[in-house]
Every structure is written in structure tokens, then in C-alpha cells.
Amino acid sequence: MDPAAYRCSLLAMQLADEWTEYVAATAITGNAHTYAQAIDRICQHVDLELGPEAERASLAAPGLFDTLVRWELSLPEGYAPGSTRPAMLASSVRVLIIRRDDHPGRMVAPDLARLARGTALINSGERTERDEFTREEKRAIVRAAWVSAHATRKRLDEGWALAAQGRHPVQGSWTSIPDLLWGLSREEITCGDVRFLPPPREWPPELLEFTAGPGNIPYSQSARSQLARRLFATLYPTTLDLHAFRVLLMDATGYTSEEVTGFGEAGVEFLPKGVRLTLRKNRAGLLRHRAFRDQAQTDVPAPQDDAAGQLAVDWPRRQASDVVRQLLELTARVRAQIPHITDTLFVSATVRPDYSTVFRPWFTEANGAGFGCWLDAMNVPVKGDRHIGRMRKSVKVEKAIVAEGRISEAADDHTEETFAGHYAQGTTLRILSGRTIATAQQHWFGKALDRVDGPTVVAGTGDDTKGTLEGSGLSAQEAEDIMTGQLDMGVSHCKNPYQSPYSRPGELCAVAPLRCLECRNAWILPTNLPQLLLFKDHLRRLRTLLTPQAFTRLWGQSWVNLNAVLEERTPEDLAQARKHIEAGQAVLHLPLAASTEFDA
């Protein structure tokens, strides 16, 4: 940015100086442009609001406090509701002001320093957490990574074998693939020399096919640059090639993209059965040494997802040691070209448009080199954001499944709060949680149904009824007492009134007949039907007097059980019972307390 482009050139220069030093000190890359945009936005605002007075605007001069407040409050106007961008811009300017205020030789107005260190004036917006890849997507990505890694190793092996068969193009031919590879591999020629090749129309068919692919013809204007890139890619790994190894390492270790691409050869120690890696997480300032053991081979095939959508974890797991060995071998020649780069194994080679060659650490920000481009090249369709961070979440989901939902085990490389905030919100874990909750609810609901205390309903008359009673676990004496009415409690018969669940053992039941329909000792015979109808009339009257909540609390279970008993009776039985009531042959005796209800 050019500070002189603004009226407030002094303010722009102060912020730009802090931005330049901050980027150099922190080595940030992805968010560096945010600071530049924030400086541009605030300078435009100051120029517009102060007019000619903006020339005297400075972080050290008083009077800029209100302008900065109005600028920060105006930021959300240009963005969609919930956007996080306004808060990021405001925070960027605050960071630069605080940095300048911390410097002993630089002045910042006290009110601006307090503003920068104070509470933000706008909210941070709403961040949408990325969802993990589905099990099918992750399986396809890992499978494509193995295919890609194998194809890369095969291409490079064949390329160096072909180079060994060639000779210097001056002695051989400038249109011979082995001769061109020989010269490039031994640095006898450069990719710039490819510019002086004959026109593509004079190339042999094998060189045309090598350049553009089987069945294709290269464009004459770009054929030479395309050939240079193809030759170099036959000898050295490209940026796209390394995506496969990042995927495989994330799948095998469960660690982040930053960590699996951030260790060098010195951070690798092979064990008798595994590998120990030194993993660095710059964002959290963590340096960890982790051993990844090779798991024993098994003849059991990996389980598949069944039709019902049940989740299965791939088994056996990929071996981290095998992936690291392949990566060391694959990048050895590139690392030999840049021995000063020791902090990563992810290095690649590329040919620039001017035919110059570059050996450098892995850089995926270039056009056509991102993770999405690799997915397209490998023909792997995924839904949603094509971001490598979703791969990390997929691995964490598997770990949570294996740990049977124990966060302490699933969050083994960060805090439990981080797991709950960033990984536990995924679709898969939500489905599993819902399934677990539903299963638990069904389990306890079933147990609750098994525990419900209610009457036993007996159908039939005469000897049939006595036989049913005895067959249900009652003694002959108990069955006889029920049949003769000696245990009649009003709306039902009782197996033993002195063993009531509502009273102390040995004491006569104190709640009969009001709670008989909720008691496991109650036995309802056909002769009880008139009293049941009268009891239903009593409860129906109470429903008109009590609130629904009070009635449900006091009489809800009795009402449900009573209706269930009556629904089993035929219309003829109910009509006959009504006749008994109308004739005065059936009377319901209730305690005095049943005549008064307190709606509390």
C-alpha cells in the first residue's frame, strides 16, 4: 500500500510501519492482507470524515478518538448480518495501535490506547463450523490418496530410469525424451533451453503425446512451456502430488495439516515397529513428540457401512511409518537441492512461466495447487466446503466413536473444550448422540413400563374366573376369598390389603379404593364393572374442577388405567352394568376426603 495515496498520509504511514514489522515478526501469511485492508478502510474513512483536516491526523495527536469509534461502528454496514469480517478489520487496527503503544519510542494518544485495549464495539459475528466428510467421502479420499501416491512413485521411478537411458541432447536429439530428461537430471541443460526446441509440428509423435497426453495435441503457443513442466514433473514431485501424503498422514496420525507437514528429517525417528515424529503446532505454540506404532496385520476385512447407516471404522489403520518412508524417498532429490530447508519434508519443484525452475517448501496457495484442485484431478466428489480441515474432523469423529463418546480420550491432542466447540458439532456425532439418547430413552421407558403398578384384569365368569386366578399365581384360598367378595375394596379386589405399597407392612391399606387402579395388588373381575363406571363418573367430575396439570398429577395414572380397563369390555357388558346402576344395585363408597380436592 502507498501511504501517500491518502490525505491522512501520516496516520497511514504509522499503521503501515506497524503492519510491516508485525508481519515480519509473526511470519503470518493468510491474514496479512486483512491488516492491509483494515488500514485502507480506516484511512478512507478518516479522509472522508475529516476532509482537509485529515492531513494532521496522527495516532499521537488528540481528537481522533470519536472518528475511530464511528469507523468501527460503521463496519457492519457493508457486510451481511453475522459476518465475522467487520470484527476482524476492527481487531486488526486495534492490534497495530496496541503494538505502537507498547513501543517506548512511539507515541499514541492515551484515549486511543484505551480504546484499542478496551472492549470491542461490535460483536464478533457468527462462525459456521465446517462439518466433517461423510464416511463415504473420507473413504474415497483416502483411497484416492493411495492411488495418487502410488502413481507419483511410479512416474518418478520411470522418469529417472528413462533419464539413465539418454545422453546429452547435443550428442543425441533435442526431441528425444530420454535425452531431455538426462540433461535436466544432470543439470547439463535447463528448462529454459526447451524454448529453443524446433516448432511442435516437427516433434515426433511420442514427444507430442508425452507433452499433451494420449490422444491430445498441444497448442503450438504453449507447447514448449507445457513440455518443460511435464519433463520436470517426471523427475521431481509437484505440489499436487504432495496432497496425497498429507491426507495419508492425517488419516494415520489424527493430527492437523499444520503438524503433519511441519516436521523435517531431523524430526523423524524410526522405531522397530513404528515411527516417532516431532510435531509442531505454531498456532498453539506446542511441540510434541509422538510415537505411532505399527499395528499387527489382520486377516479380518475392514467392515463396511450397512444399509441401515451404521458407522464402521476402517481397520486396520494406515501405518504412519510407511507413509513417512515413502515421503522421505519421494522428496529426497528436492531436499538435496535446498539443504537449508530442514523443517519440512513437504517440498516440491515447479517451473515458472519464464522457464525458471524453483525448489521450495510446499506452497498450496498458488492457482491450481489447492486441495480442491487435487480432488478434481483425482475425480473425488465431495459435498460442501472442499477444505482439508474437514479431514481432521473426520479422523476425530472416528476417534470419538472408538472411544465410545469419551471426550477425554477423543480430545487427546487438545483440550476437551476445544473438542466440544469444534469437533462435537459434526453431523456424524450428532447422529450418534441422537441414536444413543433414543436408545437410552427406549431402554428406560421399557423399564418404566415394566415397573408400572396397575391392576390385573380377569375376564370370564364362574369356574373360569377361579381357574384364571389360581393360574395367575394366587393361592386357592386367595382365589376363593376374591370370588366370595371377602377382599372387595370397592372398585376392585385386593390380593392382600395388609401388604399395600402405600402403607406400612401389616397395616390395612389407607388409600383404597382411590388408588386401587394404580396398585399391583388389585384384581379386577367382571363384577367390578358397575363400580368402575361410577368411579369414572367421579373422575370426570374432578376433571372439570381441577386444572389439567393438577388432575394429571393427582389422577392421571388412575384415569389412564381405568380407560384401558373399560376399553376391553364389550358394549353389551357396559350396557348391562349401566342397568345395574340405574336399578340401584351398584353403589360406589368413597371416603369423605374424595369429596374435596385442593388445586395446589
At 48-62, the pLDDT tens digits run 999 888 888 999 988
For residue 469, count other CB atoms closer than 10 A to its CB: 25
Q: How confident is the model at residue 163 (pLDDT cuts 50, 70, 90)?
A: very high
Query: Residue 402 pLDDT more than 70?
Result: no
Question: CA–CA separation, 19 vs 35, rounded Å?
Answer: 7
pLDDT of residue 173: 92
- Over residues 172-200, the mean pLDDT reads 92
Q: How confident is the model at residue 599 (pLDDT cuts 50, 70, 90)?
A: very low
Cα 508–511–517 angle (5° rounding)?
A: 115
Residue scoring higher pLDDT (503 or 417): 503
Residue 85, all three cell numbers: 469480517
Query: Residue 344 pLDDT more than 50?
Result: yes
Residue scoring higher pLDDT (328 or 369): 328
pLDDT of residue 389: 77
Q: How confident is the model at residue 306 (pLDDT cuts 50, 70, 90)?
A: very low
Question: CA–CA separation, 488 vs 598, rounded Å?
Answer: 28
Question: CA–CA separation, 226 vs 207, rounded Å?
Answer: 11
Question: CA–CA separation, 501 vs 478, rounded Å?
Answer: 18
pLDDT of residue 348: 93
- Over residues 411-440, the mean pLDDT reads 53
pLDDT of residue 412: 52
Residue 594, all three cell numbers: 374424595
For residue 86, count other CB atoms closer than 10 A to its CB: 22
Share of the chain above pLDDT 90, in %: 33
Q: How confident is the model at residue 312 (pLDDT cuts 50, 70, 90)?
A: very low
Three-state SS at 358 = strand
Residue scoring higher pLDDT (31 or 565): 565
pLDDT of residue 573: 86
Query: Residue 449 pLDDT more than 50?
Result: no
Q: How confident is the model at residue 120 (pLDDT cuts 50, 70, 90)?
A: confident
Query: Residue 35 pLDDT more than 50?
Result: yes
Per mean pLDDT, which range of 286-290, 357-361, 448-452, 548-552 is the poorest? 448-452
- Over residues 536-550, the mean pLDDT reads 87
> Of 594, 155, 163, 141, which is closest to residue 382 (Cα–Cα)?
141
Q: How confident is the model at residue 466 (pLDDT cuts 50, 70, 90)?
A: low
Q: How confident is the model at residue 308 (pLDDT cuts 50, 70, 90)?
A: very low
Enclosing H/E stretch for 127? none
Query: Residue 345 pLDDT more than 50?
Result: yes
Report how far Cα 362 is from the mean position of its chain's Cα atoms.
Answer: 27
Per mean pLDDT, which range of 136-145, 241-250, 495-504 is the poorest? 495-504
For residue 191, count other CB atoms closer than 10 A to its CB: 21
At 567-595, the pLDDT tens digits run 888 888 888 888 888 888 778 888 766 66
Q: How confident is the model at residue 277 (pLDDT cuts 50, 70, 90)?
A: very high
Residue scoring higher pLDDT (562 or 300): 562
> Of 541, 538, 529, which is closest to residue 586 (Cα–Cα)?
529
Give yes or no for a contact between 453 and 516, defined as CB atoms under 8 angstroms apart. no
At 318-340, the pLDDT tens digits run 688 999 999 999 999 999 999 99
pLDDT of residue 59: 92
Residue scoring higher pLDDT (485 or 466): 485
The pTM for the full model equals: 0.55
Q: How confident is the model at residue 122 (pLDDT cuts 50, 70, 90)?
A: confident
Dihedral angle over CA of 83, 57, 61, 100, nearest 10? 50
Enclosing H/E stretch for 348? strand 347-351
Question: CA–CA separation, 51 vs 283, rounded Å?
Answer: 41
Enclosing H/E stretch for 456? strand 456-457
Question: CA–CA separation, 542 vs 537, rounded Å?
Answer: 9
Q: How confident is the model at residue 300 (pLDDT cuts 50, 70, 90)?
A: very low
pLDDT of residue 397: 61
Question: CA–CA separation, 227 vs 356, rounded Å?
Answer: 13
pLDDT of residue 326: 94
At 215-270, the pLDDT tens digits run 788 888 889 999 999 999 999 999 999 999 999 998 888 888 888 898 999 999 99
Residue scoring higher pLDDT (24 or 231): 231
- Over residues 147-169, the mean pLDDT reads 94
Residue scoring higher pLDDT (324 or 449): 324
Enclosing H/E stretch for 280? strand 274-281
Cα 9–11–12 angle (5° rounding)?
A: 60
Question: CA–CA separation, 257 vs 570, rounded Å?
Answer: 72
Residue 437, all three cell numbers: 439418547
